[in-house]
Amino acid sequence: MENKRQKTELADIFIEHAADYLNTAKLCPVQKKAYQAITQCRSASMGGHINSCDNCGYNQQAYNSCRNRHCPKCQFIRKAKWVDKLASNLPATKYFHLVFTVPHCLNKLFYINQKLTYGALFKAAGQSLMQCAKTPKYLGAKAGAVSILHTWGQNLDYHPHIHMIVPAGGLTEDGREWIPSNPNYFLPVKVLSAVFRGLLLKLLEASFKNDRLKIPTGTHFEQLKQQCYKTKWVVYSEKPFKCSENLINYLGNYTHRVAISNQRIKSHQNGKVSFWYKDYRCGGLKKVMSLEAKEFIRRFMQHVLPDGFCKIRYFGFMSLSNLKQAREDCNLIINKVTYFPVLEGLNGLEVYRQITGNDPAECPKCKTKSMKAVPLPKQKTPG
């Protein structure tokens, strides 16, 4: 028996259609690796252990996780530890949520140059934020940000964009004064959008001139560039978080998210997959979309990131090299209670116990803390 919680899981869909999909789809090595990891996660092929109770003899089989960052079942502990650590390093102030998107005309260009274009997207978003914040008439301070790359929309279409968490203010150059932003917005979004567009297109053009950027068949870079300048780019800004708990919950929902969770999959039958999604054109109304299984898998696989690519990055005074000192400076100036880390130094089982309140060492049958793990060997998969 394999570990199961959800009635229909992404792994079930991948396994059932593996022969047909893998024989026809053109996948790169990192996509093949992700596909295989998801199908094998928490199965006998990954190995595992038997939890055996010394008191009553009850046995419970458990298999290992694949730990692939694209697997919807392998983000829980990793996400919890990362969010706990970051939250303890954040200045005690309000935060804005900014979203940097690119127009659809650049989707093909981005997809065939993922590592380069995603890097340029991060760089342009970070530089535009720092540049505008530094301008005296807008903020006149050094800003900071945590940024997260997402490449999907709710319907799994390709939609690369950056989510950015930004403290509502910034530090002066000497780090001795905190300058708060406007309580209703961080920076004028029209100005930020224009600067972001200019910086991103400048970076893409430099890569094109250096022969590092592949251009989609049937298009020319100058045409794309002109089309981009004719298109209105909008950096979306949400209202500031009212409290640190809201920010922490938000971070947990966005940082280690994959293209679709098992909870969103409604059914898989007759060769079709149905899943829940939010239609933001209708005010976030929850709807159901049905796709042919092969198309569903294709949409998911296009969001597998390049090998080794870091999808979370830090800017300004929140960059990792400055974060510790900047946090101390900010908290000294702002003088508010900060979040204290509760998961630091804990292993996976201890984190699970802390978050869920369930003790893996407690026997489900006799309720004594007598469960001990006995390793199981990995089983080879056919082929």
Q: Which pLDDT score, from 0 to 100, does residue 242 have?
A: 65
**CA 368, CA 242: separation in Å to the nearest integer?**
43
End-to-end CA distance of the chain: 21
Instruction: Name the residue with higher pLDDT: 195 or 45.
Output: 195
pLDDT digits (tens, 9 = 90+) for 148-182: 999 999 999 999 999 999 999 999 888 888 999 98
Q: How would residue 62 be classed by pLDDT, with cut points 50, 70 and 90?
A: confident
| Mean pLDDT across the chain | 88
| Domain edges within the chain | 76-259+304-334
pLDDT of residue 158: 97
The yes-or-no verdict on residue 1 having pLDDT over 50 is: no
- Residue 244 pLDDT level (bands cut at 50, 70, 90): low
> What pairs with residue 148 in β-bridges?
163, 312
> Can you give the pLDDT at residue 383?
47
> 51-55, 242-246, 256-260: lowest mean pLDDT where?
242-246
CA 44 to chain CA centroid, Å, is: 28
- How high is the pLDDT of residue 175? 80
Counting residues of the chain whose pLDDT is more than 70, the rounded percentage is 95
In this structure, which topology does domain 76-259+304-334 adopt according to CATH?
Replication Protein E1; Chain: A, (3.40.1310)
For a pLDDT cut of 90, what percent of the chain falls above it? 55
Q: Give the Cα separation of 180 and 159 in Å (integer).
A: 33
Q: How many CA atoms lie within 13 A of 342 on its CB side?
A: 8
Tell me if residue 60 falls in helix, strand or coil.
Answer: strand
Confidence band of 345 (pLDDT split at 50, 70, 90): confident
- Chain centre distance of CA 43: 25
Strongest mean pLDDT among 12-21, 79-88, 253-262 = 12-21
pLDDT class of 320 with cuts at 50, 70, 90: confident
- pTM, two decimals, is 0.89
- Most confident range (mean pLDDT) of 59-63, 112-116, 175-179 is 112-116
> Which pairs count as long-range contacts for 26-35, CB under 8 Å and 24+ apart, including other chains?
27/301, 29/307, 30/304, 30/305, 30/306, 30/307, 31/301, 31/304, 33/68, 34/68, 34/70, 34/71, 34/301, 34/304, 35/301
In 3D, which of 318, 302, 346 has the Cα closest to residue 81?
346
The pLDDT of residue 120: 98
